Amino acid sequence: MDTYFICLANSYKRGGRCIAGVEIDIDSDNHWTIKHNEDGSPKWVRPIAEITEYGEIPEGEARFFPLLSVVRLTDVVPCPQMAHSEDVNYKKMYSVGRVLSISTVFKELMDDVHPILFYNTDYSISIDTYEHGEYSLMLIHPEGLSFHLDPTKNRAKYFLTFKYNGFIYDFSVTDPYFYQYIGQHPEAIENLSDVYLTLSLGLEYEGRHHKLIAAIIIPSEASEIKDPFVIRQESLSEKSTRQFTSKERRIYKCCFAVPSQQGYAVCMKTRDGKEEFITIDEGCQIEPWKGVNLKKASLVIYEDADGNEVKRIRIQARTKRNVLCRILSLFVRK
């Protein structure tokens, strides 16, 4: 079974990303409507990768799914874990378009069922509460925003204090797009007042499950839009292509193709034991677990509609000429 959802979170998670969103139905005219739970709240989906330790989506794949993209999951199988009732396993994941960043859309996606955020008004919940919980994701429109940095961290880690339904909350921010935006526009943090927040319950940490701000979404200014509930089609535009340099090739001990949720990726193992995954470009033919020669590959940089760069590897096909040249070279060496 395939599932579609609007991506409302692409946040940091144990060395990878946590992607999640509200499930939708799509009709033949590309109109979308959200799906609801029995209590009337929006039905959320959190894809869990089966190839990683904590179910996190590898960084190289997560880049293809920016906020507000419409995501298609194939062969979906629910795998709920207590309060993380939204978790699902899947075979492949694709981006099929995007929705508009306007308040009309967000009001449809907001949770107006739960008056408090994740079972209490604290910044975390106990393991027992988590084990008896029923949800771990929601979108809200808060008031009274106040950002502050955690002085105990070596690198910038923001917390956001805000008001919701009369209660004051203070959660940490795990949204990489927010940190990228603030890094480029540091003065903007003083003027952020009208935003939507995607909230999530994190994995267990020191005996608690902490409440996190997985996404800070700034709505676009409303304009004359005939139908805001239509999926906008878009595609990546190729920005540049280049070969791997000899210096880059020496960094990696070995490279080989592995199955991934988007088809195939190249697992690039460095000499110090680290791994990097880069998705293989569409149309490239390669068998899983086969070695990849970076001399025969190119690094392709794409750009999405928001100006974000996306990396892929394009592998040169082995033609009859290539095979013949290789055979001849063997005879020459002898």
pLDDT in tens, 13-68: 988 999 999 999 999 999 999 999 999 999 999 999 988 889 999 887 887 888 99
What pLDDT sits at residue 318? Answer: 57
Average pLDDT, the chain: 88
- H/E element, 129: helix 127-131
Provide the residue range defining the domain that includes 272.
237-333
Do 327 and 180 fall into the same domain? no
Work out the angle at residue 65's Cα, subtended by the Cα atoms of residues 136 and 176, and round it to the nearest 5 degrees: 70
The pLDDT-based confidence of 305 (bands split at 50, 70, 90) is: low
Do 149 and 190 fall into the same domain? yes
pLDDT in tens, 133-191: 999 999 999 999 999 998 777 677 999 999 999 999 999 999 999 998 888 888 888 88
Do 125 and 10 fall into the same domain? yes
Report the distance separating Cα 29 and Cα 214, nearest Å: 31
Domain count, the chain: 2
- Show Cβ contacts of residue 257 under 8 Å, excluding neighbours closer than 6 positions: 264, 265, 266, 267, 280, 286, 287, 288, 289, 290, 292
pLDDT in tens, 6-19: 999 999 998 899 99
Do 192 and 295 fall into the same domain? no
1-7: average pLDDT: 94
Residue 232 lies in a domain: no
What pLDDT sits at residue 275? Answer: 83
Residue 12, CA distances (Å) to 23, 212, 251 in order:
21, 10, 26
Alpha helices, H only, 148-243: 176-184
Alpha carbons within 13 angstroms on the beta-carbon side of residue 98 total 16
- Phi and psi, residue 116, nearest 5°: -120, 160
What pLDDT sits at residue 251? Answer: 92
Do 153 and 64 fall into the same domain? yes
Nearest Cα to Cα of residue 195 among 125, 106, 279, 268:
106
Alpha carbons within 13 angstroms on the beta-carbon side of residue 1 total 7
Do 57 and 112 fall into the same domain? yes
Report the distance separating Cα 118 and Cα 306, nearest Å: 32
What pLDDT sits at residue 72? Answer: 94
Tokens of 250: 């020496």
Nearest Cα to Cα of residue 130 among 120, 121, 138:
120
